[in-house]
Amino acid sequence: MNPGDIAVVQASFAKVVPIADTAAKLFYARLFELDPTVRPLFKTNLEEQGRRLMEMIAAAVNGLGNLPALVPVLQDLGRRHARYGVESSHYQVVGQALLDTLEKGLGRDFTPQARNAWSAVYEAMAKTMIAAADGTKKRAGA
């Protein structure tokens, strides 16, 4: 993840904001299509979950300019997701669902450069979250 990736992700996410509700619906539909086994992990109303998802993505995207402040937030998010039953393997399918959602929601605006930037940013964020979750599991003896 480099400054160019961050700029591309932030610019493209600004185009997602007006379609946030639709993007959230697209995301969950695609996620459950890719891996129906994750559906039981979502206990709350999906509309509410979608709002939280978009808020979390917005906070993360806006925080990319200050990585030292963002890393602890991502670590906490990773630990919380582990408590909800999220496994390391789920991050790959979530990443694919995110990219597919962006492609469908943004259309032509989701350029190859944007795809590459989102892939790099998501991978870095997911690694941070997974490492924190794995550390929590090790301390708990899992």
CATH number reported for the structural domain that contains residue 104 in this entry: 1.10.490.10
- Our count of domains for the chain comes to 1
Total-model pTM: 0.89
Average pLDDT over residues 88-97: 94
Q: Are 39 and 121 in contact (CB under 8 A)?
A: no
> If 0-12 CB within 10 Å is exposed, 13-18 middle and 19+ buried, where does residue 19 land?
middle
Q: Above pLDDT 90, what percent of the chain? A: 77
The whole domain housing 84 covers 3-140
Compute CA distances 78 → 4, 10, 72, 101, 103, whole Å.
25, 22, 10, 22, 25
Per-residue confidence band for 43, with pLDDT thresholds at 50, 70 and 90: confident
DSSP3 helix / strand / coil % (the chain, rounded to 5): 85, 0, 15
Amino acid sitting at position 13: F
If you search the block for the tokens 């408590």, which residue do you land on? 83
